[in-house]
Amino acid sequence: MNGKPRFIMCNCTGQCPGFAKLDLWAFINRVRDQLDVEYAIVHPQLCVDDGDRFWQDVAKPGVVYIVGGCDPRMQRKMFGAILKEKGVDLDTQLTSLDLRDMSAEEAYAKVKEAVAQATAPGTKAAPKAQSGVKPQ
Ligand code: SF4
């Protein structure tokens, strides 16, 4: 894989009750400051048109994307096609994390674990998506 994992946080426009507990800016700043990532950014709604245009711009083979947001299966359903179109192998390059109903501390711990797995020596693939079905 090329470089460090990229962390992208999707927060459902900021209006979804699933992210009401999350202090978004404390969380994202901690991720970018303290974890071994290339960068950490926030996108307001990856599953709509400008989310597709975002992936169109940035997605490429050979890079691990760790995406925080809703259920991993929902993420794949909603932007898996555009990633594949860009040559991204979902099984080795995409780690989707369900970060709903978490505090900044809890979300940070989950991202930290995913980054550690993605950057472990000898790692060639993104860790499997962290599933866990929660009501939307
Ligand atoms: S991808 Fe998931 S977290 Fe992001 S806006 Fe869509 S439903 Fe919400």
135 burial via Cβ count (<10 Å: 0-12, 13-18, 19+): exposed
Q: What is the DSSP string of 80-93?
A: HHHHHHTT--HHHH
Give the mutation target among 65, 75, 77, 97 for probing the ligand 1 site: most ligand atoms within 8 A of CB.
75
At residue 70, the pLDDT reads 97
The CATH number assigned to the domain holding 48 equals 3.40.50
Is residue 128 domain-resident?
no
Q: Give the per-residue pLDDT at 136.
A: 40
Q: Tokens 């993420």 appear where?
A: 75
Pocket of ligand 1 (CB under 6 A): 10, 12, 16, 45-47, 69-70, 74-75, 78
> Ligand 1 centre and the CA of 57: distance in Å?
19
* Residue 126 is assigned to a structural domain of this protein: no
Domain assignment of residue 1, yes or no = no
In a domain, 125, yes or no: no
Q: Is residue 69 part of a domain?
A: yes
Question: How many structural domains does the chain have?
Answer: 1
- Taking the centre of ligand 1 as the mean of its atom positions, its distance from the CA of residue 110, in whole angstroms, is 18
- Give residue 94's domain range: 6-119
Strand partners, 40: 7
Q: Among 92, 100, 95, 114, which Cα is nearest to 36's?
A: 114
At 124 the pLDDT is 58
pLDDT in tens, 49-75: 999 999 999 999 999 999 999 999 999
Residue 133 has pLDDT above 60, yes or no: no
- Which amino acid would we find at residue 121? P
Environment class of residue 31 by beta-carbon count within 10 Å: exposed (0-12), middle (13-18) or buried (19+)?
buried
pLDDT in tens, 4-17: 999 999 999 999 99
Residue 45 CA: nearest ligand 1 atom is 5
Q: Which residue has the higher pLDDT, 121 or 128?
A: 121
How much is the pLDDT for 128? 56
